[in-house]
């Protein structure tokens, strides 16, 4: 049933021309898919999708909409050719699924080879209850290093594209984000001041609890950034820049990647492999715990710093 809601939302996105409504529907789509992930037992993925898709992506799209037009022009080409391409591709994919294992089948090939080994050996080798974290941070740590680098690169790319300060407008406005700062609104200010510390605390909780339940570096970084984005929305860009200055954020985003790679290199210097944490402490399992803790910290730092930087750049452009 959730899947039919998703399908309806997707069709509505296709048909609507008001882009504001399209972005809102995309937020709903994201949240519904997070609910589907929970029913499919993917709790870490649901957490990340809800935070990232319904949070950061929607906010960035709304910021883009304030800079560009709000409605879409009517299509000028015919829609028959794209429809045909889409139907042919869809038909080919459906034909491809006819040989696939049935939904939920425990004997499917993907459950036979590597996954049981991870599930069985993870308690002995790493000792963390959350198998997803142990696979992400230790067994497949190299991929995660690449992922953190991708986030860092995206932040650098957005910095290059949007980072130049436009000197046409006056630099010192009396209100923060032009006239759209909401700091004259008492209710929002008070509630934001009460909530933001708890959001930050929750981000720290998610960061360190990722070993035992859903969570980990990415989700924590995104929630941490969300607290700062809330502060920026209510109190204005200048106030937020005074709290978390862009220079510090740039250093932090690079620092996270360096911590990650540094832990990997420390493994080499201590006599093991790159990203082999077992040699970092006296006991291999303790070494794994230490290594995972450090690299999750690096991941969380980079993600939070890059997300906040990107939001600053997007909202700085609306002046």
Partner 1 sequence: MATVLGLYNYWIAIFLMMTGFYVVIAHGNLVKKIVGLNIFQVAVFILYISMGKVRGGSAPILAEGVTSYSNPLPHVLILTAIVVGVATTALGLALVIRINEAYGTVEEDDIHSQDEPE
Partner 2 sequence: MAMIVDALSWVFLLTGSFLGVSGGIGILRFPDFFTRLHAAGVTDTLCAALILLGLMMQTGWGLVAVKLFFIILFLSFTSPVAAHALARAALHGGLKPQLHKAEDDPSKS
* Residues found near partner 2 in the complex (CB under 8 A): 182, 185, 187-188, 191, 194-195, 198
What is the sign, positive or negative, of the torsion defined by CA atoms of 183, 187, 188, 190?
A: positive
Closest to partner 1 by CB, 153 or 185:
153
By the rule CB under 8 A, 36 interacts with partner 1: yes
The DSSP symbol for 18 reads: B
By the rule CB under 8 A, 40 interacts with partner 1: yes
- Residues 282 and 121: their CA atoms lie apart, in Å, by 20
Q: Of 253, 254, 233, which is closest to residue 58 (Cα–Cα)?
A: 233
x/- mask, partner 1, residues 118-137, rule CB under 8 A, reads xx--xx-----xxxx--xx-
Angle at 255 between CA 252 and CA 259, to 5 degrees: 140
Helix (H, G, I), strand (E, B) or coil at 233: helix
- Residues 98 and 95: their CA atoms lie apart, in Å, by 6
Closest CB 273 distance from partner 1, rounded Å: 20
Closest CB 288 distance from partner 1, rounded Å: 15
Neighbours of 33 (CB within 10 A): 20
191 binding partner (options partner 1, partner 2, none; Cβ < 5 to 8 Å by kind): partner 2
Contact (CB, 8 A) for 274 and 268: yes
Neighbours of 19 (CB within 10 A): 17
The DSSP symbol for 71 reads: B
Closest to partner 2 by CB, 58 or 138:
58
Closest CB 188 distance from partner 2, rounded Å: 6
By the rule CB under 8 A, 201 interacts with partner 1: no
151 binding partner (options partner 1, partner 2, none; Cβ < 5 to 8 Å by kind): partner 1
Closest to partner 2 by CB, 23 or 297:
23
By the rule CB under 8 A, 65 interacts with partner 1: yes
Q: Which of residues 5-24 bind partner 1 (CB under 8 A)?
A: 6-7, 10-11, 13-14, 19, 22-23
């Amino acid at each position: 049933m959730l899947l039919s809601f998703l399908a309806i939302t997707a069709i509505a996105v296709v048909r609507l021309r008001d882009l504001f409504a399209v972005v809102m529907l995309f937020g709903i789509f994201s949240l519904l898919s997070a609910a589907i992930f929970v029913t499919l037992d993917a709790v870490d993925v649901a957490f990340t999708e809800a935070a990232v898709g319904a949070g950061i992506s929607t906010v960035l799209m709304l910021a883009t909409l304030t800079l560009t037009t709000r409605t879409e022009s009517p299509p000028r080409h015919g829609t028959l050719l794209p429809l045909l391409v889409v139907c042919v591709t869809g038909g080919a994919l459906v034909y491809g699924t006819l040989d696939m294992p049935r939904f939920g089948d425990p004997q499917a090939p993907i459950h036979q080879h590597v996954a049981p080994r991870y599930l069985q050996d993870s308690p002995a080798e790493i000792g963390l209850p959350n198998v997803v974290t142990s696979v992400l941070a230790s067994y497949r740590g190299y991929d995660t290093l690449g992922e953190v680098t991708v986030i860092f690169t995206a932040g650098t790319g957005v910095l290059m594209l949007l980072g130049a300060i436009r000197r046409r407008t006056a630099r010192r406005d009396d209100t923060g984000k032009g006239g759209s700062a909401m700091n004259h609104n008492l209710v929002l200010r008070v509630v934001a001041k009460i909530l933001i510390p708890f959001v930050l605390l929750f981000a720290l909780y998610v960061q360190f609890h990722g070993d035992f339940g859903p969570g980990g570096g990415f989700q924590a970084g995104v929630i941490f950034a969300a607290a700062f984005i809330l502060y920026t929305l209510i109190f204005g860009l200048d106030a937020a820049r005074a709290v978390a200055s862009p220079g510090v954020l740039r250093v932090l985003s690079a620092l996270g990647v360096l911590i990650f790679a540094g832990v990997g290199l420390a493994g080499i210097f201590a006599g093991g492999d790159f990203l082999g944490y077992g040699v970092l402490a006296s006991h291999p399992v303790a070494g794994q715990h230490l290594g995972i803790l450090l690299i999750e910290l690096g991941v969380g730092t980079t993600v939070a710093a890059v997300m906040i930087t990107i939001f600053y750049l997007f909202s700085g452009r609306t002046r």
